[in-house]
Amino acid sequence: MNHSLKTGFSFGLTSGIITTLGLMVGLQAGTHSKLVVLGGILTIAVADAFSDALGIHISEESENKHTCGEIWQSTISTFLSKFIFASTFVVPVLLFDLTVAVVISIIWGLALLGLFSYILAKEQKVKPLSVISEHLMIAIVVIVITHYIGDWIGSTFI
């Protein structure tokens, strides 16, 4: 996979997983509404995918070392990977009770992130456990913080 596609894919996958899980967990803790969580996932899948794609586009342009084609490859691969990975979290919400769907989504998201981290570590010839641990720890911190923010919002404003 070339640099441009890898940049977009890795950013989109990581952002798609962590952002969507954080949003889901926070919304579920605060509202306990399947409809709200589903709306949040779809919003992330579209709006945040476009936002991240534009962010990568501008970041790649600012480096002044990529061709126009490379920049657009990064942009499109960021959008598609973010959109696709975020959208996968819709399936458990449609099929299961919300609490079960969130647990399944956390397992799914952490498994994907762990697998991608393993592949990344192998490509970089570094110890996989350290890379996987670092990435999963960041995701878990996001999940825990957004859960408590959702609880706080739900108990304070709803």
In this predicted structure, the answer to whether residue 14 has a pLDDT above a threshold of 80 is yes
With respect to residue 75, please indicate whether it lies within any of the assigned structural domains. Answer: yes
pLDDT in tens, 78-109: 999 999 999 999 999 999 999 999 999 999 99
With respect to residue 157, please indicate whether it lies within any of the assigned structural domains. Answer: no
- Which three-class secondary structure state does DSSP give residue 97? coil
Query: Whose structure tokens read 């990977």?
Result: 81
The total domain count for the chain is 1
- What percent of the chain is predicted at pLDDT more than 90? 99
In this predicted structure, the answer to whether residue 158 has a pLDDT above a threshold of 90 is no
**Secondary structure (DSSP) of 32-57:** --HHHHHHHHHHIIIIIHHHHHHHHH
Q: What is the pTM of this model?
A: 0.96
Query: Whose structure tokens read 């509404």?
Result: 33
With respect to residue 158, please indicate whether it lies within any of the assigned structural domains. Answer: no
With respect to residue 33, please indicate whether it lies within any of the assigned structural domains. Answer: yes
Q: According to the model, what pLDDT value does residue 10 have?
A: 97
pLDDT in tens, 131-143: 999 999 999 999 9
Q: According to the model, what pLDDT value does residue 7 have?
A: 94
Q: Domain span at residue 33?
A: 3-152
Six-digit token pair at 140?
């878990």
Give the model's confidence band at 67: pLDDT under 50 very low, under 70 low, under 90 confident, else very high. Answer: very high
